[in-house]
Amino acid sequence: MDKGAMWRRREMVALLGAAAAPAWAQFRVEVTGVGLTQLPIAIAPFRGEGQSQQKIAAIVQADLERSGQFRAIDAAGAALDEGSRPDVTPWRQKGADSLAVGSVSRLADGRWDVRFRLWDVVRGQDLGGQSYAVVAGDLRLAAHRIADYIYEKLTGEKGVFSTRIAYVTKAGNRYNLWVADSDGENSQSALASGEPIISPAWSADGTRLAYVSFESRKPVVYVHDVATGKRRLVANFRGSNSAPAWSPDGRTLAVTLSRDGGSQLYTISATGGEPRRLTQSAGIDTEPVYAPDGRSIYFVSDRGGAPQIYRMPAAGGNPERVTFTGSYNISPAVSPDGRWLAYISRIGGAFKLQVMELGSNTVHSITDTTADESPSFAPNGRLIVYATRQNGREALMTTTLDGKIKARLAGQGGDIREPDWGPFQK
């Protein structure tokens, strides 16, 4: 937003593990730009993390940096753990306000015990700690939970690091729907297909994904339980079936169907059944999203001659136009508190992520890329994930709402697109 702000490019590359570590263990976080107030924190290497597959301290640090609200203070070589009573003076001298210390150790049953403690080094105060007993596959989850604990303790808001992001990759003619950690790492394939997959959408409880699959040579909507792989074809009507959006209570999907001619909005039970028509226009109505309170639906319509974003009651009814600037505004996403609308606007041939404050209707363009797509809010509303093109390649980015802190998410090779940020984990 503040275009006059000084932009600084900072790149942090963290290599996980020694030379013996497998290639997938390498991860990379790029942070561009600086925020105005960032909390300085030192995260000491966790004692014993060299024995585990995951470098807990590096994951926690990258999480906090990506949020834009923290600045990492170098803690290399510190030999501390959650049982230490650290001498706060050197940390204060380095400029840290807080210090996180911890350990990783193998339990007799094969699981890992991850412990940490957070210190306020200005006051010399113990800010508490946690321990997690996890299987190896959940070591990163434990690290993200630690980052969430620190984030909440120091900012007063819930962290989103232990949440999950869904996205789609295309490599050659293979399409994959992935479920990954919020940093894009630890991706697991939920669906592999020889035909496109688009528009994944998390249910509010974070267990199911709705998406559009072209595996039957036409777009149809599935609801897919990611833990079990069980899925159900919920919209396979004549013509195209697309753009699924969950109602906040998880019972209903808003979808775009062409069964009655044209692309129009319908609601349908999340378990399938007969759809109910929501809109009656001669043009295109698509990309529905429920407002967080479930009472209204934002959607895209070209009823006025060009695609614009509208809002209408969730049961259908009179739509009111929401976007007025420009002639191509699509892909609405509403923040969890209902205050912000993120969307994509075509501006001079470029497709740009916009953030509108719904109360004042002020709009800010928050990227300097030209092929932005598919914005989705983090469940705490402080970050947006979106797809774009960087150096000729598809990329997933996170950004703060003011556009000042951006990070490119790790991911599979090939083209990467269609991110959707899942809810807080139970």
Q: Hey, which residues between 32 and 71 contact other proteins (CB under 8 A)? A: none
- Residues whose CB falls within 8 Å of the CB of residue 67, separated by 6 or more in sequence, listed in order: 151, 159, 382, 383, 400, 405
Pick the stretch among 67-75, 131-139, 267-275, 315-323 that binds other proteins (CB under 8 A): 131-139
Confirm or reject binding of residue 131 to other proteins (CB under 8 A): yes
And the tokens for 360?
Answer: 């004042």
- Binder of other proteins out of 98, 169, 240, 296 (CB under 8 A): 240
> Which tokens in the block code for residue 400?
């703060």
Rounded CA-CA distance 53/22 in Å is 10
Q: Which of 127, 62, 50 is nearest to 88 (CA)?
A: 127
Distance CA 295, CA 291 (A): 7
Which residue in the set 38, 53, 84, 412 belongs to the binding site for other proteins (CB under 8 A)?
84
Ranges of beta strands (E only) in 188-339 are 188-193, 197-202, 208-213, 220-225, 231-235, 241-246, 252-257, 264-269, 276-277, 285-290, 296-301, 308-313, 320-321, 329-334
Q: Does 238 bind other proteins (CB under 8 A)?
A: yes
Q: Dihedrals φ, ψ of 250, to 5°?
A: 75, 5
CB of 225 to other proteins, least distance (A): 8
Q: Which stretch binds other proteins (CB under 8 A): 1-9, 37-45, 80-88, 318-326?
A: 80-88
> Alpha-carbon distance 115 to 131, whole Å?
4
| Closer residue to other proteins in complex, CB, 264/335 | 264
Query: Strands 39-43, 98-106: parallel, antiparallel or unpaired by DSSP?
Result: parallel
Q: Quick one: CA dihedral 372, 378, 248, 222, positive or negative?
A: positive
Q: Which of 223, 228, 226, 204 is nearest to 212 (CA)?
A: 223
According to CB under 8 A, which one of 17, 35, 40, 262 is a site residue for other proteins?
262
Please, what is the minimum distance in Å from the beta carbon of residue 409 to other proteins?
17
| Residues within window 295-324 making contact with other proteins, judged by CB under 8 A | 300, 307
Mask 333-372, x = binds other proteins (CB under 8 A)? -----------x-x----x---------------------
Tokens representing residue 307 in the block = 């695609």
What is the x/- site pattern for other proteins, positions 242-261, by CB under 8 A? xx------------x-x--x
The one among 30, 63, 65, 81 contacting other proteins by CB under 8 A:
81
Determine, following the binding rule CB under 8 A, whether residue 117 of this chain makes contact with other proteins: yes
Is position 221 an interface residue for other proteins (rule: CB under 8 A)?
Answer: no
* Window 171-210: residues binding other proteins (CB under 8 A): 179, 181, 186, 188-196, 198-199
Tell me the site size for other proteins, rule CB under 8 A.
Answer: 86
**Cβ neighbours around 182 below 10 Å, total:** 27
Report the run of H or E that residue 362 belongs to, with start and end.
strand 362-365
The SS3 of residue 65 is: helix
Site string for other proteins, 399-418 (x = CB under 8 A): ------------------xx
Please state, in angstroms and rounded to a whole number, the distance separating the CA atoms of residues 347 and 184: 29
Is residue 164 a contact residue for other proteins (CB under 8 A)? yes
Q: Cβ of residue 290: shortest distance to other proteins, in angstroms?
A: 16
Pairing verdict, β 362-365 and 350-357? antiparallel
282: left (phi over 0), alpha (psi -120 to 50) or beta: alpha
Residue 135 in the binding site for other proteins (CB under 8 A): yes
Helix H or strand E encompassing 61: helix 56-66
For the CB of residue 312, give the shortest distance to other proteins in the complex, in Å: 17
Residue 55 CB, nearest approach to other proteins (Å): 18
Instruction: Assess 373 for contact with other proteins (CB under 8 A).
Output: yes
Instruction: Please state the closest distance from residue 222 (CB atom) to other proteins, in A.
Output: 8
Binding test (CB under 8 A) with other proteins, winner from 65, 138, 185, 420: 138
In eight-state DSSP terms, residue 366 is -
Residue 21 contacts other proteins per CB under 8 A = no
What is the closest distance, in whole angstroms, from the C-beta atom of residue 157 to other proteins in the complex?
19
Q: Of these, 30, 287, 394, 420, which contacts other proteins (CB under 8 A)? A: 287
